[in-house]
Structures are given as structure tokens and as C-alpha cells.
Amino acid sequence: MIKAYATVPAGFTVFSDATEMMFPAGERHVKTQQESTQVPSHVLVSGADANDFVSAAMWIDHAHQGGHTITAQIPYLPGARQDRGTPFGAKVYANLINTMGADRVLCFDPHSPVMPALLENLTVLHSDEVIAASLPNQGRDYVGVIAPDAGAVERARRAADALGLPLYQATKVRDFATGKLSSFECEELPETGRLLVVDDICDGGGTFMGLAQSTGLSKERLDLWVSHGVFSGRAAQLTEAYGRIFTTDSHPGHLNPDVNATIIPLAAFLAAASN
């Protein structure tokens, strides 16, 4: 889905009166207002539906024809996990986003450096700033941060530094032919206190369930932060292993009622990063 925004003469930001539509043949389009006094400012694209990126491109073209500069807020970069192998999904999606023609692209906590390197005019909002500002009691309830695998170490370390906490690292083995996970291990953890697991994406939750089981800790001692809550498949089982689950509204999956995550709205953080 997309949400397009504009400013009005009074200085407020409102939903754009140029709204998306679809022709009977299936093409995406934008219906504009002839006497509009709005100034288009930015468009938010959530999820991975390619049709939404076409709709956003239409709105950006409309705004450019009026002489306006536009930011595309794409907090969840689609294809960012497809950063190796064939097809090279990250490049395919990056090409699609670049073709939209936004003057600036803003994303949140990308999966790896691969896709950001392929995007033009990109600004990255990292998760540590959001985590430090959003956790209850400014994160003072925790005695440490856990990186669930090697790929999460950098972002977990940033979060740990922002919270003034030690970092603990876990490992796992993935069979890339089958996607099956095994051999979860975690370094020795404190004997008391709550720990926060930090990563970028939760899909079906297998990594986090395996980690929780390997630590032997109860849900009263484990919380989970994931920047992008896709929450597919068996993700609801996470409630058996984690006391609190935090995510943002970057992906439509965050609304999965069976996960019942605490949702952190990104609008204010994205607006600040745009300035």
C-alpha cells in the first residue's frame, strides 16, 4: 500500500488529494485535482507489492510535473534478503525503486549493505536510534543484548551501545538448499536479568525460536526486537518463548494479531531523518 502526503498553505501535512486509482485494464494511475493548493512532499510505500511501487512512481511523476521535490519513504526494502545468488532479487527491486525517480529515498534498517549500495539518493535510518527511544524505561530493564546470528551482530552491537549494555552473540547453521536451521548456540549469558534479542526481520520466527531454546531461558527473561515484523507462518509461536515482542509498522505483517507485538510507529523517526 502507499500513502502520499502534501503540505497545505496553513503549514500542515495532510494526505495528498492526488489519489491512486486503477484503470479497468489494470494499469495504475493517479487521479489529480485541478485546483489543488497542496504541495506534494513524500510518499510512503509499505510491503513488497510491485504494484504499489508503480503507483508511487505515478504520484512522484505527478509531483515532479508540478515542480516539486519528493522523498520516497520505503522503510522495508523489498528484496533486501535476496542479496546473493540468482536471480539477484536485490538488484531487480533496486532497479524498480530507482526507476520511480524519487529525489530522495529513505529506508529503515536494511538487511545488508548490498541493496543500499544499489539504490540512488538513499538515506538509511538505523534501528539503534529507534530502539533507544522506544523501549520502556529507555531499555534499563535489560542486562544485555543478544545478536541471534552472525548477520545480526552489527545492528545488535549498535543497539547495545545505544543502550549502554553488553552484547552477547549466538550462532546457527542454515542449509541454503532447504532453508532448514540447526546447531543453535549462544555464548554464556548472565544468570539473572532480562535480555533483548535484536535483529532486522522476523518472518516465520524459526531463528528466534531456535535461539530461545538454545539459551534455556524462560520467556520471563527474553524479549525480542525486530525492525520489520513480517510474522508469517508459525510466527505466533514466538509468544511461547518471548515475554514481549517489539516491532515497527514498516511492513503490513506487523498487524498479525496472533503475535500481538508492541508496535513502534516510524513516522516521526522518518520525518526527522528527512530533515
How does pLDDT run across 220-263, given as a tens digit for each residue?
Answer: 999 999 999 999 999 999 999 999 999 999 999 999 999 999 99
H or E element: which one contains 196? strand 194-202
pLDDT score recorded for residue 123? 97
> Which neighbouring-strand residues pair with 202?
229
> What grid cell was written down for 157?
552491537
Residue 134 has pLDDT above 90, yes or no: yes
Residue 26 has pLDDT above 70, yes or no: yes
pLDDT score recorded for residue 172? 73
Largest CA distance in the chain: 66
Cell 500513502 locates to 3
Domains of the chain by residue range: 2-125, 128-265
pLDDT score recorded for residue 147? 96
Q: Half-sphere exposure of 155 toward its Cβ, with a 13 Å CA cutoff?
A: 27
CA 98, 203, 162: angle at the middle one, nearest 5?
75
Give first-to-last CA distance, the chain, whole Å: 24
Across 42-56, 171-185, 203-217, least confident range: 171-185
pLDDT score recorded for residue 184? 84
pLDDT score recorded for residue 223? 98
Query: pTM for this one?
Result: 0.93
> Which neighbouring-strand residues pair with 70?
none
Supply the Cα-derived Rg of the chain in whole angstroms.
20
pLDDT score recorded for residue 173? 67
User: Which CATH number is correct for 128-265, 3.30.70.3270, 3.40.50.2020, 3.90.1170.50, 3.90.1150.10?
Assistant: 3.40.50.2020
Average pLDDT over residues 212-218: 92
Looking at 3, 31, 172, 219, which residue is catalytic?
172
Regarding the domain delimited by 2-125, which CATH topology (the fold level of the hierarchy) does it fall under?
Answer: Rossmann fold (3.40.50)
> pLDDT tier at 154 (50, 70, 90 boundaries)?
very high
168 in Cβ contact with 142 (< 8 Å): no
What are the tens digits of pLDDT across the range 68-98? 999 999 999 999 999 999 999 999 999 999 9
Catalytic residue at 172?
yes
Average pLDDT over residues 192-200: 97
Average pLDDT over residues 202-215: 93
- Fold agreement between 2-125 and 128-265: yes
Q: Checking DSSP bridges between strand 142-147 and strand 71-73, what pairing results, if any?
A: unpaired
Closest by CA position to 214, among listed 247, 181, 245, 167: 181
Residue 200 has pLDDT above 60, yes or no: yes
> pLDDT tier at 176 (50, 70, 90 boundaries)?
low
Distance CA 57, CA 61 (A): 6
Residue 177 has pLDDT above 70, yes or no: no
What are the tens digits of pLDDT across the range 6-22? 999 999 999 999 999 99
